[in-house]
Amino acid sequence: MTETLSIPQGEVGRPLRAESPAGTRHVGRPRVYSDAEIFGAINLTLKEGGFPALTLDAIATRVGCTRQALVRRFGSKDAMVLAYLENMQTYVEASVRETDHEGPAPLDTLRTRYTRPAGERDDMSGDPAVEANLLAFVLTASADPRYASIIATLNEANISAFQSLLDSAVAQGELRPCPTRAIASSLHFVWIGEIARWCLDPGFSLPDRMARAFDVIVLPYRPLAA
Amino acid sequence: MTDALPRREVGRPRIFSDEAIFAAVFLGIGRSGYGALTLEQVAQEVGCTRQALVRRFGTKREMVLAAFTGSAEQMTEHVDQARPAGNGPLEALRDRLTYLPGNLPDKAGAGRVQANLLAFMVTSCTEPAYAEMFTKWFEAEGREIERLLDAALAEDELGPADTTVLAQVILAAWAGNALHASLNDAKVQNVPLSEVFEQIIAPYRRSVSAA
């Protein structure tokens, strides 16, 4: 649902020049900040303090530039967050494309992906307190229709990826014909729901919960024994 | 429990119910989040003074705890009333699940209100009392779902199933569906919870599992 700092960030917009401290000037070419650095700073700020902590000043401080430099590049805080979400969308869509939907064991691929520990996932943090902030950001940001549209696209990409693997499993005889879209949606809802519970109660094992859910939701559709 | 305003007025003091105060608490968090909620805001919504709330609850934190605890108790009471004679346990369970999100106040702006309430819930892990309250609520809700699944098993509506595990999966599906629904964007049609419930439970229904 959310992305981590390890994700490669694409270049969007103009490079950002570093601002010199008052009274000093750099000699030679000014330092240029990439979008990756800015999006990384946004990610870190959201992780630590959630949406309320996300201000242009906070990002500028982390990146080492001025608030005005961010305004010049993005126009506003809203536009900066929008660029961050669009970049996340690009990454998630690429990640879905890279999944081997036509591989020899789609059900194994899906189960492995579904039950992967939070700390090993590109789309989650391994720290429940951090994940709670990111989840709260998604919930809060969705008040803006522009953000909501991208967040909805991210959710849809996740459901579609599940469905694609389920369709392959049916095509390869690993599953009987079944309502793959509805099953994919259930898997998605349970995934989000268990993350929310994990935020409240970090004591339970998220991979175990996901494995249990996968077995309850998907395994009844395996071929019947002859 | 009720409370009275200071006896400055002539005649009987006005009484404010817990329900009215709790509704104002939910409305406040739902509109602008927990951080922005103040005793003054709730008092203004209810029509009492900040001091009246302080006398009754002590602090904002205690008031919010009381509101969510009271709401959880109402939900538990509801389930016992929600199974009219003739309704099977699975039907009662489906009704209960669809009642849960609808129990939130301010149904008119349900999506945004729900998003802010859920944001408060997931970030409450930083406050142990809140985290414990929500965790207990989930545990109690899981037990209620399991109780109805056990009844469905006993009444032969369900085939063989681990009702403890099934209850937890259904509970997680409810929470995830509520989160998804609160994102409130027309681009992705939200799946009604009743359909999610049917999808999860379908393979375990007796008519299916016996086939």
First to last CA, chain A: 40
Confidence of residue B110 (pLDDT cuts 50, 70, 90): low
A139 shares contact with chain B (CB less than 8 Å): yes
Residues 110-169 (B) with a CB less than 8 A from some CB of A: 112, 115-116, 118-119, 121-126, 131, 134-135, 138, 165-166, 168-169
B97 shares contact with chain A (CB less than 8 Å): no
Nearest CB partner across the interface for B125, out of A199, A212, A221: A199
**CA of B37: how far to CAs of A26, B13, B17, B61, B135, in Å?**
47, 26, 19, 10, 22
User: With an 8 Å Cβ cutoff, are A152 and B176 in contact?
Assistant: no
Residues A110-124: pLDDT tens digits? Answer: 999 899 887 777 666
Does A168 have pLDDT greater than 50?
Answer: yes
The size of the A-B interface in CB pairs under 8 A is 140
CB A162 within 8 A of CB A188: yes
Report d(CA A37, CA A41) in Å as an integer: 6
CA distance B46 to chain A (A): 26
Residues 177-216 (A) with a CB less than 8 A from some CB of B: 179, 182-183, 185-186, 188-194, 196-197, 199-202, 209, 212-213, 216
- Nearest chain A residue to B139 by CA distance is A197
Among B120, B114, B144, B145, which residue's Cα sits nearest to residue B134?
A: B120
According to DSSP, residue B104 is labeled S
Report d(CA A45, CA A53) in Å as an integer: 7
The pLDDT mean for chain A works out to: 80
Chain-centroid distance, C-alpha B138: 10
Residues 62-121 (A) with a CB less than 8 A from some CB of B: none
Nearest CB partner across the interface for A200, out of B119, B125, B204: B125
A81-86, long-range: CB within 8 Å, 24+ apart, which pairs? A81/A42, A81/A54, A81/A141, A81/A147, A82/A146, A82/A147, A82/A150, A83/A12, A83/A13, A83/A35, A83/A39, A84/A38, A84/A39, A84/A42, A84/A43, A85/A141, A85/A147, A85/A150, A85/A151, A86/A12, A86/A150
* Residue B12 exposed, middle or buried by CB count within 10 Å (0-12, 13-18, 19+): exposed
ipTM above 0.90, yes or no: no
Counting residues of chain B whose pLDDT is more than 90, the rounded percentage is: 34
CB A174 within 8 A of CB A107: yes
**CA of B128: how far to CAs of A62, A199, B11, B118, in Å?**
30, 12, 43, 17
User: Which of A48, A187, A191, A200 has the most B C-beta neighbours within 10 Å, making it the best mutation to test the interface with B?
Assistant: A200
A138 phi/psi in degrees, rounded to 5:
-60, -45
User: With an 8 Å Cβ cutoff, are B131 and A209 in contact?
Assistant: no
CA distance B62 to chain A (A): 19
User: With an 8 Å Cβ cutoff, are A139 and B179 in contact?
Assistant: yes
pLDDT at A116: 87
Give the three-state DSSP class for B4: strand
The radius of gyration computed from the CA coordinates of chain B, to the nearest angstrom, equals 20
User: With an 8 Å Cβ cutoff, are B188 and A129 in contact?
Assistant: no
What length is written for chain B?
A: 211
Nearest CB partner across the interface for A193, out of B124, B175, B199: B175
Which amino acid is present at A207?
Answer: P
Nearest CB partner across the interface for B123, out of A132, A191, A209: A132
User: With an 8 Å Cβ cutoff, are B121 and A190 in contact?
Assistant: no
Residues A27-45: pLDDT tens digits? Answer: 454 557 888 899 889 988 8
User: With an 8 Å Cβ cutoff, are B179 and A148 in contact?
Assistant: no
pLDDT at B107: 47
Does B36 have pLDDT greater than 90?
Answer: no
Which amino acid is present at A172?
Answer: Q
| Cα three-residue angle A29-A35-A38, rounded to 5 degrees | 100
Confidence of residue A208 (pLDDT cuts 50, 70, 90): very high
Least confident of A34-38, A168-172, A219-223: A34-38
CB A86 within 8 A of CB A150: yes
pLDDT at B198: 94
Least confident of A99-108, B85-94, B133-142, B174-183: A99-108
CA distance B149 to chain A (A): 14
DSSP per residue over chain A, as a string?
----TTS-----SSPEEPPPPTT---SSSPPEE-HHHHHHHHHHHHHHH-GGG--HHHHHHHHTS-HHHHHHHHSSHHHHHHHHHHHHHHHHHHHHHHS-TTSS-HHHHHHHHHH--GGG-TTS-S-HHHHHHHHHHHHHHTTSHHHHHHHHHHHHHHHHHHHHHHHHHHHTTSS-S--HHHHHHHHHHHHHHHHHHHHH-TTS-HHHHHHHHHHHHHGGGSPPP-
A152 shares contact with chain B (CB less than 8 Å): yes
Residues B59-74: pLDDT tens digits? Answer: 999 999 998 887 767 6
pLDDT at B79: 57
Which amino acid is present at B137?
Answer: W
CB A39 within 8 A of CB A30: no
Does B112 have pLDDT greater than 60?
Answer: yes
Which amino acid is present at B58?
Answer: G
- Nearest chain A residue to B127 by CA distance is A200
